[in-house]
Amino acid sequence: MIAIPAVDLRDGACVQLVGGSFAQEKVRLENPVEVARSWEHYGFHRLHVVDLDAAMGHGSNIAVVRSLLFDSTVPVQVGGGVRSDELVEELLEAGASRVIVGTRALEEPEWLAELAARHPGEIIVACDVRERRVTTRGWAHTLPLDILDVVEELNPLPLGGLLVTAVHREGLLQGTDLPLMEDVAESSNFPVYASGGVTTMQDLRALEHRGLAGVVIGMALYTGALDPVVVAGEFGE
């Protein structure tokens, strides 16, 4: 299992939010490229970059994303507000190893199917989940869909993976939603990446034991709850 530091972008800065709420910003670092370099320096072998402004539909950090992709020496998966073929192509051409799609992919299955067919193994679908229900549009809209129903619909597609964020645990440093992640990993035909609430090495080991391919870690790394050297040493690959 691989641990992947999150580099979340807002107003050109690297931030961390509590509970998926844009009103509760706990961490703000003004130079995302330097932040990304620091994670690589600690020994992490993949980065997770999300444009939060684009996800909410009121802005873009594409220039910062391009700088991160140009500067990085490790694979970078990029998401946040990716709702067009053109942006997918742009990100892949700029150097993204995988592109993460969420809102449009879940609301328009036909678009996702065509996109995955054109880019097999390069598309990750992000499912933001609050109490087993899937949310879209930057956590603002809840769909009447259970996450396991979504996984069943996605399984035939040639996806690069599924990213499941437990929004109700995001940034709270209270542990991940293990039953949720275990159920999704067991149901999925492709790699599943967990996000939301990861706080301790025990959380990471429990997720690995339940078959997760990777974990995206934010708040615990930025606040020092997890030692990046230790995490990268045990879950670097």
Q: Over 70: is that where the pLDDT of 5 sits?
A: yes
Tell me the helices (H) and strands (E) count for the chain, helix number first: 11, 12
Average pLDDT, the chain: 90
Three-class secondary structure of residue 50 per DSSP: strand
Q: For residue 89, which of 75, 103, 101 has the smallest C-alpha distance?
A: 101
The CA-CA-CA angle for residues 191, 123, 26, to 5°, reads: 80
Q: Over 90: is that where the pLDDT of 94 sits?
A: yes
CB 199 within 8 A of CB 178: no
- Proportion of the chain in helix, strand, coil states, percent, rounded to 5: 40, 30, 30
CATH code at 76?
Answer: 3.20.20.70
Three-class secondary structure of residue 232 per DSSP: helix
Q: Over 90: is that where the pLDDT of 143 sits?
A: no
- Catalytically active residues are 8, 128
The CA-CA-CA angle for residues 100, 37, 201, to 5°, reads: 70
Question: What would the DSSP string read from start to end of 154-196?
Answer: HTTS--SEEEEEEGGGTTS-S---HHHHHHHHHH-SS-EEEES
Three-class secondary structure of residue 200 per DSSP: coil
In this prediction, residues 49-59 reach a mean pLDDT of 90
Q: For residue 50, which of 234, 228, 195, 199 has the smallest C-alpha distance?
A: 195
C-alpha–C-alpha distance, residues 51 and 118, integer Å: 23
Total domain count, the chain: 1
Enclosing H/E stretch for 93: helix 85-94
Split at pLDDT 50, 70, 90, the class of 16 is: confident
Give the position of tokens 């949310």. Answer: 135
C-alpha–C-alpha distance, residues 106 and 145, integer Å: 10
Name the pTM for this structure.
0.92
What residue numbers bound the domain in which 80 lies? 2-235
Beta bridge partners of 48: 6, 77
pLDDT tens for each residue of 158-188: 999 999 988 765 545 567 889 999 999 999 9
Backbone φ and ψ for 36, nearest 5 degrees, come out as -60, -40
CB 5 within 8 A of CB 221: yes
